[in-house]
Amino acid sequence: MEHLLSSPDFLSTLSAFGAMAVIVLIWGALVESDPLAARLKNVAERRSELRHQERQKKLSRQAHVERASIIKQIVQALRLAQGKKMDELRLKLARAGYRSRDTLFGYLFAKLVAPLGMAGLSFLFVFALHAGHLK
């Protein structure tokens, strides 16, 4: 190892690599990079993502409005939203944090469908899956 450190060829090669590294580092610091192009590309990509998200929200809102209108029509056809207790129910729903216009109709629809759904589920459980025949 001592012989390698005293060799003029090794020392000159080591000095050349050191000088080259210094030149490359100075060159990298002084060369002006343009971050604007990359920034504009990122902004354009983000804008595209936001547009896509807005389109998705708009489509989901439209589906929600259509579903709510069907529920509203069913509740109005069955005249479930009539009576003295509707104002109290609307107030209770508002106190619970449900302040949307269609919340009352959704609640009344769920109140109508829940017993029918449970009856269907129990019919499936007892007759289709034969759960009534316990051993």
Q: How far apart are CA 101 and CA 84, in angstroms?
A: 18
pLDDT in tens, 38-52: 899 999 999 999 999
Reply yes or no on whether the pLDDT at 134 is more than 70: no
- How many CA within 13 A on the CB side of residue 117? 6
The neighbour count for residue 81, using CB atoms within 10 Å, is 15
Q: How far apart are CA 107 and CA 81, in angstroms?
A: 10
pLDDT in tens, 7-19: 888 888 989 999 9
Yes or no: say if 132 and 126 are a contact pair by the CB < 8 Å rule: yes
The pTM assigned to this predicted structure is 0.48
**What DSSP assignment string belongs to 34-89?**
-HHHHHHHHHHHHHHHHHHHHHHHHHHHHHHHHHHHHHHHHHHHTTTT-STTHHHH
Q: How far apart are CA 41 and CA 34, in angstroms?
A: 12
The neighbour count for residue 105, using CB atoms within 10 Å, is 21
Task: Check residue 24 and give its pLDDT.
Answer: 92
Instruction: Give the pLDDT band (50/70/90) at residue 32.
Output: confident
